[in-house]
Amino acid sequence: MSERLKVHDIAHARAGDKGDVSSISVWAYDPKDYPLLKNQLTAERLKAAYPKLLRGSVTRYELDHLHGLNFVLRDALEGGVNTSLNLDSHGKSFSYLILGLEIEAADADPVVPDAAESGTTDGG
């Protein structure tokens, strides 16, 4: 039986926007929780969680040495500030969409990710 956590319990995040692209960085408070984030908070997971909002590609950049992930969400701002009628047309609050996701605490991969490399993965 594994413990379920919200991402918000172990990480903080900030969202920014350019046109119809939202970028959201997510950072582990404690480096020992970073593998948990890296293993479970994948681009695919994010796209699957919010398919109506995330209509375009989701790309994840990894900054292992800073224990952070950067998500780039294309076509994710309901048209962007030009056309979105969302009260939050910049998607400033979308950082908390990621922080509201649940992850399995017991799923942590004990292997510390390669600290020297920063990688990229795509979620289509």
Partner 1 sequence: MRRSVRIGCGAGFSSDRVEPAVDLAQRGALDYLVFECLGERTMAFAHRDRMLDGSKGYNPHTAQRMRAVLAACRKNGTVVITNMGAANPLAAAQLTVGIARELGLAGLKVACVEGDDVTRQINAGTALHDRDGTVRDIGLPVVGANAYLGAEALLPALKAGADVIIAGRIADPSLFVAPLAFRFGWGLDDWQLLGRGTAVGHLLECGMQVTGGYFADPGFKDVPGLVDCGFPIAEVGFDGGFTVTKLPEVGGCVTTATVKEQLLYEVHDPATYLTPDVTADFSRVAIEQLEPDRVHVHGADGRPRPDKLKVTIGFDGGFLAEGGISYAGPNAQARARLAGEIVWQRLSRNNALLADLRIDMIGVNSLHGTAHTPPTDSEDVRLRVAMRSRRREDIDTMLWEVEALLCCGPAGGGGYRGTISPSVVTHSALVARDQVRPTLRMFTA
Residues in contact with partner 1 by the rule CB under 8 A: 8, 12-14, 16-19, 21, 23, 25, 27, 29, 49-50, 52-54, 59, 61, 63, 65-66, 68, 70, 72, 78, 81-83, 85-88, 93-94, 96-97, 118, 120
Residue with smaller CB distance to partner 1, 52 or 124: 52
70 φ/ψ sector (left φ>0, alpha ψ -120 to 50, else beta)? beta
Residue with smaller CB distance to partner 1, 1 or 24: 24
What residue type is 124 in one-letter code?
G
Supply the minimum distance, in Å, between the C-beta of residue 109 and partner 1. 22
Nearest to 36 by CA among 103, 114, 119: 103
Supply the minimum distance, in Å, between the C-beta of residue 3 and partner 1. 18
Host H or E run for residue 9: helix 7-10
Supply the minimum distance, in Å, between the C-beta of residue 112 and partner 1. 18
**C-alpha separations of 50 from 33, 34, 124 in Å:** 24, 22, 14
Supply the minimum distance, in Å, between the C-beta of residue 106 and partner 1. 22
Gyration radius of the chain's alpha carbons: 14
